[in-house]
A and B are shown apart, each in its own frame.
Chain A
Amino acid sequence: AQSVTQPDIHITVSEGASLELRCNYSYGATPYLFWYVQSPGQGLQLLLKYFSGDTLVQGIKGFEAEFKRSQSSFNLRKPSVHWSDAAEYFCAVAPYNNNDMRFGAGTRLTVKP
């Protein structure tokens, strides 16, 4: 069965430091992969997505993610974190027809001044 694992429940980084949030998936074929961000009291906003092609995907707000088929991973990165990046981040996978999207448990990011 398809599943998504985000190993880190909570990560704290200093403002200006680099960030990597991990995501591993289990799926029969290469799924469609997404990263969403949820700020407190808000809905989910799409950061980036991977369907096919270049395995390094650029998203909004300076985020990027790299798809590694051999590791079944889709890690999210940002070279320099801003205080406004503090939020909850969700990795998600979806089958071809987009229904039954599965979300990871989320990683809460705290940014220290």
Chain B
Amino acid sequence: DSGVTQTPKHLITATGQRVTLRCSPRSGDLSVYWYQQSLDQGLQFLIQYYNGEERAKGNILERFSAQQFPDLHSELNLSSLELGDSALYFCASSVGIAEVETQYFGPGTRLLVL
């Protein structure tokens, strides 16, 4: 158990819909990262937040957005969903941003878009 929690574990929705994935980092961690794991693209970094502020962006689509709240939990919002958005979405957390740190991964949310 990494200490990172993600909800829900599974999500089934239809094309065109919007969903919100939630992540609670390990106690004391200020940085949150979101990743997408799909069969064709592999594991891709989407976005990072540090203490409520966006820190870095990776291959995140414009239809996707994220935020980190004052209590440090984070949400990833996926809108206008397409079939290709079906994937496993991971959240990870680390202590800060001072230097490269270990990222601890949550168990993931499996999204299926029908």
Contacts and interface: CB of A to CB of B under 8 A. Distances in A.
A46 B104 contact: yes
A97 B42 contact: no
A90 interface: yes
Interface stretch (A13-21, A73-81, A102-110): A102-110
Contacts of A102: 45
Given A43-B2, A44-B90, A106-B43, A100 B58 contact: yes
B56 A96 contact: no
Contacts of A106: 42-43
A99 B105 contact: no
B102 A96 contact: no
A84 interface: no
Nearest to A105: B42
Nearest to B47: A99
Output the residue of A45, A49, A99 with the most chain B CB within 10 A.
A99
Given A51-B100, A96-B100, A100-B58, A43 B45 contact: no
Interface in A1-43: 32, 36, 41-43
Interface of B: 2, 4, 31, 33, 42-45, 48, 55-56, 58, 90, 92, 94, 97, 99-108
